[in-house]
Chain A
């Protein structure tokens, strides 16, 4: 386990209590998505992982370190945080300097900085822009640059705040590739997102949040098929789940296991459609 959240409460200086007793465990090497309605407390929760926010009550332990007693800089070496809006963090004159910034703050020698920057920029396909201003890049490139600036210092845990928000299909595909790569690198990834289809494809577990609490946690095939939980978290079910509900409503799908297991349903549908294409009548 790399992150343990115990009975976490957080109240903003204005007096609004956003987190109300959150308990969560994040395991090494997993990709966890935190989903829920706007204002559920998702971003507030992940801001505790690198100490930007400190608990009002309760505890957040990151790799054995209690975040209440560690600085943001200390925790940032372990937890890399990619913010939703790249414009909030880009400032350097060149793309190269942007990526080198964190490495310099962490005191790496110049030859290591050079190789890490080259590696991260090549990984994000941005090396060709190294001498350009970060502000001259497109939105998708700026987003990738913020990811590169975090990957460069090789944190063990990576937190992504709404990585797919405002991204077109191509950029989303690139973010998917990055996630696959992070999985290969055995990184732990925690991301906040509203994109149910993206989550169905890429994550190991989903935590659903509403009104400052975690409603449910588990594999996406289970959590995203639970219509009660989804309604409570004000999320729309993935298309596959919607199909299964329509099929059940019309009496075509009887077996309940397909309604609650999106992956089984997908396999079953493929089987049936293949049957239909061969000329035999499809049946479920």
Chain B
């Protein structure tokens, strides 16, 4: 639930929010790529530090903390599994992999925290993705917070009929959570059919290309931010 809530977009008045979404995608993808490239603990920590700094500038430190809270247990599992599979004496490689997972999840969630579904749609269309697909991606992100509310509603409904989700062994708990799946899938399929009908009723799919209220135009500040990102990449690669 915490992870789903992290996708809820809220506009802030920061330099990151005002930046062109293409700069934001460049920033997130660059940080993720640097994390994939880096093979040392120090470099992974540097990527994570950069993510934290950007999140603080974007006033999203609290939200990032929630993502970390969800990603940390998985990071720990990655560490343990790699430690068990690899040579026992080597703690560095499992640690790098665990930190890489943390860096990837935080850097990519940084983009979704600072980008509204509308900006995402504009971004995808500017990348020449067909409108049907860009709408598909946008709608998926748009409905993540709604899905979180639905999960909560279904959980409450089942708990109200005596289902104790957190009771019993691990198998019983997993089985309990499976009860959530049927109403959720049925409800979301119904919702998506209704959304599709509503879109078509308002002219979606018309052969004429749609006009846009907003268009993406790079400003001087965007070029400056892109320059800073390039500078960071060069500095990182020289380390």
Contacts and interface: CB of A to CB of B under 8 A. Distances in A.
A87 B183 contact: yes
A88 B183 contact: yes
Chain B contact-residue range equals: 20 to 34
B125 interface: no
B149 to A, nearest CB: 10
A85 B153 contact: yes
Interface string B114-138: 0000000000000000000000000
B150 A76 contact: no
Interface of B: 150, 153-154, 156-164, 179-183, 186-187, 190
Interface stretch (A98-106, A214-222, A245-253): A98-106
Interface in A43-75: 47, 50, 52, 71-73
A8 interface: no
Interface string A77-101: 1001101010111111000000001
Contacts of A73: 159, 162-164
Q: By DSSP majority rule, is chain B's interface helix, strand, loop, or mixed? A: helix
A83 B186 contact: no
A225 B92 CA distance: 75
Contacts of B182: 90-92
Interface string A266-281: 0000000000000000
B84 to A, nearest CB: 36
B162 A89 contact: no
Interface residues of A, number: 26
Contacts, number: 67
Given A83-B153, A83-B157, 8 more contacts: A52-B159, A73-B164, A76-B159, A81-B157, A87-B187, A88-B157, A88-B183, A89-B158
B179 A91 contact: yes
A52 B162 CA distance: 12
Contacts of B181: 91
Nearest to B157: A89
A39 to B, nearest CB: 15
Contacts of B186: 87, 90, 135
A138 B150 CA distance: 21
Nearest to B166: A71
22 contacts: A52-B156, A52-B159, A52-B160, A72-B164, A73-B159, A76-B161, A83-B153, A87-B186, A88-B150, A88-B157, A88-B187, A89-B160, A89-B183, A90-B186, A91-B158, A91-B179, A91-B180, A91-B182, A101-B161, A101-B163, A102-B162, A153-B161
